């Protein structure tokens, strides 16, 4: 072969190899010993989001973050140190579209013709779907294994000779044998001899149909006791070509006991049906009654033969017959439960009210076989309901509002005074809940306590804020009584209430007089003491600081003496207003008397917050005043005690603030001073 032909072949082979590399779905690249890219295929270009010409001559650190580049370099070095192929798995994100893939990467050291290491060849294959499939298969196998192990049903695999090959824990518990002993036994060891004939039939089914059961029999346990079971089985072919039997074994001890209990219950039902107070009847699919219990027969005075042979409506009051028949037949046609009240003639001729509740009957196969009903004599309950109506009418002329609801708390009646108090007419509230009057002032806990009292004591009394139809909120004194029937069942709630808004307003006025300064309208000394106790507790909970600021006005006395007390009062009102406008919503300002005020600053995290607030107060108070057309000015000396830096007793905090105020005044006024125990002792000396 000539040199030209050899060269042509090499070129052709190189072109073929280049085409092959570029069409492979794998990522292929070549690096030198320093990790500099020498070549890559189009699939790899997608990873970096760059063309081969822009990748060659650069390293991983030019395209991915340092952590991932370090990872790539680490595995490059491992392959070179190993001097052989190195595999690893790695998650990468493609730069071209942002999707992620799990790659299985093979890195192989490359050598030249003299055996010198010249670089690393990398080939990476997308194994994302394979991994997902493997994980799904593993999870599926784990679930099946979990179902097998945790199944309450016994599961066992036997060969065609009945020898146990595999079984779960439920099967072992059914037999009572330990695992090692059970593996030495076979199906026939557990089967009592009397089942031989039935076993033959099951084996025949297995050979013909490939399955057997369901089949009820007994196993003989290790302790010798017999246990009732139900078996189902199927024939399978093993990997070795042999046939095996999978069997599912259910312990039906409880079912057998339940069947026995059902038979006993039927007997007990007959006994109870004839010994209770309920009148019980049954009917067939023809809608005709075919059974009455002894209580019914004693009530009507007829024999069972006479009662069955006549229509059940013959003893019903003429006014109730059409309604009763309509309810019964409508429910019967729909196979629905029903409940109705009607009057039935007793053996002495008196009509008694009965509550008749019926429901459809079905046999064990779910087939409809008729109805069963039980009736209770509710004559006394009916009389109670009538008496309740009469009692309610007594309240028609009372001056207090009366509201009556049913057991579901739905309004069924109100008296005329209800309109006078609430503005709602009777027609507007019938069928509604009393919540139509709710003002929203009482929280959920308030109503829960109310209902708890009604359930336990059958009565509740208290004050409540409600809303009139006009939207006006008013206070009422409300008493609620629970009305029950002879069986203790709640049938009515009766609420009686009166408007006490004028009383509450008078109480509020008295409270304001007692707690607020008459001149300025801000809290007085009494309310301040309460606010200080609350503020100390709040500060302790929130683990921050509060400042008690004792304010005495500088220059007030000359104004009061020269311009009169009315001028002084105007100054005090204006100063109170300025302080209120300067402090925050959660803070408090109070007047102790004369020209002395106290401000409580809450929620302080740092000392400079307090200082800033005090500077604002000084600035606000010292603004010029116009009193009786004359310009005048006052300033303030403010003493401050901080909690928890000093004692938590309100009186001590106030006294310390007072001492600090005198220190501020001695220093020239129009300033604040923070209480310091050492300085205070010196001043007192």
In contact, 304 and 296? CB cutoff 8 Å: no
pTM: 0.36
pLDDT (tens digit per residue) in 132-158: 888 887 877 677 676 777 778 888 888
In contact, 400 and 407? CB cutoff 8 Å: no
Which stretches does DSSP call E strand in 408-554?
411-414, 459-467, 473-484, 490-499, 545-554
**Angle CA 238–244–246, to nearest 5:** 110
DSSP H helical ranges for 375-415 = 379-394
- The two structure tokens encoding residue 360: 């459809």
**Per-residue model confidence (pLDDT) at position 20:** 57
Place of tokens 């707690």: 515
Q: Which one, of 102, 163, 157, 153, lies nearest residue 127 by Cα? A: 102
Q: For 594, how many CA atoms within 13 A lie in the half-sphere containing its CB?
A: 10
- The two structure tokens encoding residue 314: 């013959």
Which stretches does DSSP call E strand in 432-507?
459-467, 473-484, 490-499
Q: What's the mean pLDDT in 263-290? A: 81
pLDDT (tens digit per residue) in 200-243: 888 888 889 888 888 898 888 989 899 898 988 888 888 888 88
Determine if the peptide bond prior to 644 is cis (ω within 30°). yes
| Phi (first) and psi of residue 672, to 5 degrees | -120, 155
CB atoms closer than 10 angstroms to residue 44: 22
475's CB contacts (< 8 A; 6+ apart) are 463, 464, 465, 499, 500, 501, 503, 504
**Per-residue model confidence (pLDDT) at position 121:** 92
601's CB contacts (< 8 A; 6+ apart) are 546, 547, 549, 583, 584, 587, 610, 613
First vs last C-alpha separation in the chain: 124
**Per-residue model confidence (pLDDT) at position 89:** 87
Quote the CA–CA distance of 607 and 21 in Å, as a whole number: 74
**Per-residue model confidence (pLDDT) at position 678:** 52
- The two structure tokens encoding residue 204: 């025949």
Longest CA–CA span in the chain (Å) reads: 135
pLDDT (tens digit per residue) in 551-604: 999 999 999 999 999 999 999 999 999 999 999 989 999 999 999 999 999 999
Q: What's the mean pLDDT in 93-105? A: 88
Domains defined along the chain, listed by start: 20-131 (3.30.450.20), 151-256 (3.30.450.20), 274-377 (3.30.450.20), 394-504 (3.30.450.20), 516-684 (3.30.70.270)
């Amino acid at each position: 072969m000539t040199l030209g032909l050899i060269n042509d072949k090499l070129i052709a082979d190189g072109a073929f190899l280049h085409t092959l590399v570029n069409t492979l779905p794998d990522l292929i690249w070549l690096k030198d010993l320093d990790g500099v890219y020498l070549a890559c295929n189009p699939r790899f270009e997608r990873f970096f989001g760059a063309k081969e010409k822009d990748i060659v001559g650069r390293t991983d650190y030019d395209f991915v973050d340092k952590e991932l580049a370090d990872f790539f370099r680490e595995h490059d070095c491992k392959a070179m140190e190993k001097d052989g192929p190195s595999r690893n798995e790695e998650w990468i994100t493609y730069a071209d579209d942002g999707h992620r893939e799990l790659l299985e990467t093979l890195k192989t050291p490359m050598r030249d013709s003299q055996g010198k290491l010249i670089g690393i060849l990398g080939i990476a294959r997308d194994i994302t779907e394979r991994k997902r499939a493997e994980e799904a298969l593993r999870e599926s196998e784990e679930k099946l294994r979990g179902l097998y192990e945790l199944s309450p049903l016994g599961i066992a695999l036997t060969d065609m000779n009945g020898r146990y090959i595999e079984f779960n824990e439920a099967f072992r518990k059914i037999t009572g044998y330990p695992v090692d002993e059970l593996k030495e036994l076979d199906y026939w060891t557990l089967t009592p001899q009397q089942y031989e004939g039935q076993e033959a039939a099951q084996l025949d089914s297995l050979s013909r149909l490939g399955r057997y059961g369901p089949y009820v029999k007994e196993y003989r346990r290790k302790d010798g006791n017999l246990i009732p079971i139900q078996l189902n089985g199927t024939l399978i072919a093993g990997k070795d070509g042999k046939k095996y039997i999978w069997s599912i074994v259910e312990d039906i001890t409880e079912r057998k006991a339940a069947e026995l209990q059902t038979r006993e219950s039927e007997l007990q039902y007959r006994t109870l049906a004839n010994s209770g107070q309920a009148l019980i009847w049954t009917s067939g699919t023809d809608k005709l009654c075919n059974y009455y219990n002894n209580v019914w027969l004693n009530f009507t005075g007829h024999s069972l033969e006479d009662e069955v042979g006549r229509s059940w409506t013959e003893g019903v009051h003429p006014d109730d017959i059409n309604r009763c028949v309509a309810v019964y037949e409508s429910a019967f046609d729909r196979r629905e439960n029903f409940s109705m009240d009607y009057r039935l003639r007793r053996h002495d001729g008196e009509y008694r009210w009965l509550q008749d509740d019926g429901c459809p009957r079905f046999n064990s196969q779910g087939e409809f076989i008729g109805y069963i009903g039980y009736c209770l004599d509710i004559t006394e309950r009916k009389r109670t309901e009538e008496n309740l109506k009469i009692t309610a009418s007594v309240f028609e002329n009372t001056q207090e509002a009366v509201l009556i609801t049913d057991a579901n708390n739905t309004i069924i009646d109100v008296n005329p005074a209800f309109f006078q108090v609430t503005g709602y007419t009777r027609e507007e509230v019938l069928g509604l809940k009393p919540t139509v009057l709710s003002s929203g002032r009482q929280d959920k806990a308030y109503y829960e306590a109310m209902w708890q009292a009604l359930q336990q004591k059958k009565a509740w009394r208290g004050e409540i804020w409600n809303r009139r139809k006009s939207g006006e909120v008013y206070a009422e004194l409300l008493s609620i009584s629970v009305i029950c029937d002879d069986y203790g069942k709640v049938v009515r709630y009766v609420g009686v209430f009166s408007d006490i808004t004028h009383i509450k307003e008078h109480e509020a006025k008295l409270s304001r007089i007692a707690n607020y300064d008459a001149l300025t309208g801000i809290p007085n000394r009494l309310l301040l003491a309460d606010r200080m106790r609350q503020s100390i507790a709040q500060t302790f909970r929130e683990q921050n600081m509060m400042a008690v600021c004792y304010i005495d006005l500088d220059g007030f006395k000359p104004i009061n003496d020269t311009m009169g007390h009315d001028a002084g009062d105007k100054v005090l009102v204006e100063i109170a207003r300025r302080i209120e406008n300067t402090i925050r919503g959660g803070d408090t300002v109070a007047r102790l008397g004369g020209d002395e005020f106290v401000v409580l600053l809450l929620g302080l995290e740092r000392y400079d917050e307090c200082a800033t607030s005090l500077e604002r107060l000084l600035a606000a108070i010292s603004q010029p005043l116009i009193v009786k057309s004359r310009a005048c000015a006052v300033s303030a000396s403010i003493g401050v005690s901080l909690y928890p830096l000093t004692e938590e007793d309100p009186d001590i905090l106030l006294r310390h603030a007072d001492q600090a105020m005198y220190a501020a005044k001695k220093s020239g006024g129009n300033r604040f001073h923070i209480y310091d125990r050492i300085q205070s002792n010196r001043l007192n000396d």
